[in-house]
Structures are given as structure tokens and as C-alpha cells.
Amino acid sequence: MEHTTLSHHLLLAGLLFALGLTGVLVRRNLLVVYMCLELMLAATTLAMVAFSRFAHKMDGAVFVFFVITVAAAEVAVGLALIVALYRRRGTIQSDALNTLRD
């Protein structure tokens, strides 16, 4: 197999991103939606690393560390919110959470 190119990486990232996006759009369980969101984030991270690797610059790789850090914090907060939501409302189905509509 020949050497992997930037396109390979980007294709993989794009696939992952599309997968995540589909999940976000079609699933109703917030927990799953959240996992799909993380998948999208991972896809972009992958793209960034790839760019960094092929451009021979460290900027992207460094930026990824920031993203990971922020993502970790975000997961903590997000999961806590979902748990709190479940405790209060008894459901985490996104269609049921529509009281802000009016």
C-alpha cells in the first residue's frame, strides 16, 4: 500500500464528521446526540493534526491540545447538565424538552 496522503486523512475526518452530524440530526436521546457531537469534534481534531503533519508546522498540533483540554471540560459540564436535566424532568428525549418554544 502506498504512502498515505493528506486526502486520506481528510476523507476519514470528513466521514467521521458526517457520521456525527447524522447522529446529531436524527437521534433523540440527548446522551447519544452528545456522543455524536464529540465524534464531530474528534473529526475536526483529526483534520487539524493532519494539516499540521503535512504542512510541517506545529501550530495545528498545539491547537489540538487546547481542543482536547476544552473538550474534556465541556464533557464534564455537558454530562452534568444532562444528568441534572434527567433528575429534574425525568427524560432526556430532545423532543420532549421544548418548553422554551413560547
Partner 1 sequence: MSPDFSSLVHWILFLPLGAALLIALFLRRAGAVAAWLSTGVAFAIAALALRLLTAAPGDTRWHVELAKLGDISLGFGYLLDANARLMLFVVSFVAAWIHLFSIGYMRDDDARGRFFGGLSIFMFSILGIVVADNLLMTFVFWELVGFSSYMLIAHYFDKDYAAAASKKAFIVNRVGDLGFILGLAFCLAHFGTLQFEALAALKPAAGWPWLLGALLMCGFLGKSAQFPLHVWLTDAMAGPTPVSALIHAATMVAAGVYFMARIAFLLTPDVLQIVAVSGAGMAALAGLCALAQTDIKKSLAYSTLAHLGIMGCALGLGRPDLAVLHMAMHAFFKATLFLGAGSVIHGCHHEQDMLKMGGLARKMPVTTAAFVAATLSNCAVPFLAGWYSKDAILEAAHAQNHYLFALLGLAAVATCLYSARMVRLVFFGPANSEAADHAHESPWTMTAPLVVLGLGFSVAAGFAADALIPAAALARVAEPLRAMAFHATSAATLVGLAALALGALAFRYYGRTAGVDSLRADLPRFYGVLEFRWMDTLYGWYVDRVQRRMAEFLAFLDLLLINGVAVRWLAAGVPAVLGYLTGRTLHRGQTRLYALSLVAGTLLLAWYFLAR
Task: Pick the stretch among 4-12, 50-58, 80-88, 91-99 that binds partner 1 (CB under 8 A).
Answer: 91-99
Number of residues that bind partner 1 (CB under 8 A): 13
Options 1, 2, 25, 88; binder of partner 1; rule CB under 8 A = 25
- Other CB atoms within 10 A of residue 47 CB: 20
Least separation in angstroms between CB 51 and partner 1? 18
Least separation in angstroms between CB 39 and partner 1? 14
Check if the beta carbon of residue 10 is closer than 8 Å to that of residue 50. yes
β-bridge partners, 93: 29
Q: Which of residues 47-86 bind partner 1 (CB under 8 A)?
A: none
Q: With respect to partner 1, which residue has the nearer C-beta, 14 or 69?
A: 14
35 binds partner 1 (CB under 8 A): no
Q: Give the Cα separation of 69 and 71 in Å (integer).
A: 5
